[in-house]
Amino acid sequence: MEEGAGGGGEEYLFKIVVIGDSAVGKSNLLSRFARDEFDLHSKATIGVEFQTQVMDIDGKEIKAQVWDTAGQERFRAVTSAYYRGAVGALIVYDITRRSTFVSVKRWLDELNIHCDTTTAKMLVGNKSDLENIRDISVDEGKRLAEEEGLFFIETSALDSRNVKEAFQIVVQEVYSNVRRKVL
C-alpha cells in the first residue's frame, strides 16, 4: 500500500493478489473485473502480471493493483515477490473440482508466510454458473471461510456474477483497515 498526500487529497494504491490452483478461473476473474472480458480458451502464460483498476470507495478514489499468478501456480512456484506488499487476497477454488477446494488451506499457509495477519482475505468459489456439476456446496464454502476467518463469495467470471463485488469487498476492507490505523 502506498499513500501519498497531494493537492488536498490522499491517494491510495492497494496491492491485491489472486491465488488458487491452476484453471480455477483466476485470470478470467481479473479480466472480467478489469476489462469486462471473458476468454473461453485462455492459456496460462508464465510471468507475473497485474492490472490496475480505479475504484470508488466511500467517495475516495482507490487504485486496486490486482496481481495474477499468470501460470506460476502450475509449478507451485509462486515467488515471495508476488506476495510482497499485498494488503488483500482472493483465494479462489472451482466449485466443480474438490481438489481445488482442498488446496485452499495450502494457499492460505503460503499467504500467511508472506503477508501479515491484517491482509484482507476473501474465499472465492468460482464457476457458480456450473450448478449442475457443482461438487462443493455453498454451506461447505461458508464453513471453511468461517473457520479460517475469511470473507466468502461465489462468483462466475463467465456470467459476471459477483465478480465486481468480490474485489469491492476486499478493497473496502483494506480501506477500513487503513482508516483504523490512521485514525
Footprint on this chain of ligand GDP (rule: CB under 6 A): 22-28, 40, 42, 44, 126-127, 129-130, 156-158
C-beta closer to ligand GDP: residue 26 or 121: 26
Q: Which does 40 bind (CB under 5 to 8 A by kind): Mg ion, ligand GDP, none?
A: ligand GDP
Q: How far is the CB of 165 from ligand GDP (least distance, A)?
A: 14
Reference 157, options 18, 39, 20, 28; nearest CA is: 28
Q: Per CB under 5 A, does 28 bind Mg ion?
A: no
Cβ pair 12, 60 in contact under 8 A: yes
Q: How far is the CB of 102 from ligand GDP (least distance, A)?
A: 16
Q: Which does 57 bind (CB under 5 to 8 A by kind): Mg ion, ligand GDP, none?
A: none
C-beta closer to ligand GDP: residue 25 or 88: 25
Cβ pair 166, 145 in contact under 8 A: no
Cβ pair 19, 73 in contact under 8 A: yes
- Helices 26-35 and 163-182: crossing angle in degrees, nearest 10, is 80
C-beta closer to ligand GDP: residue 62 or 127: 127
Grid cell 515477490 is found at: 81
C-beta closer to ligand GDP: residue 40 or 183: 40
What's the CA gap between 11 and 97, in Å, rounded?
40
Pairing label, strands 88-94, 9-20 = parallel
What's the CA gap between 96 and 37, in Å, rounded?
22
Among 17, 19, 25, 27, contact with Mg ion (rule: CB under 5 A): 27
Q: How far is the CB of 88 from ligand GDP (least distance, A)?
A: 18
Contact positions toward Mg ion, by CB under 5 A? 26-27, 44
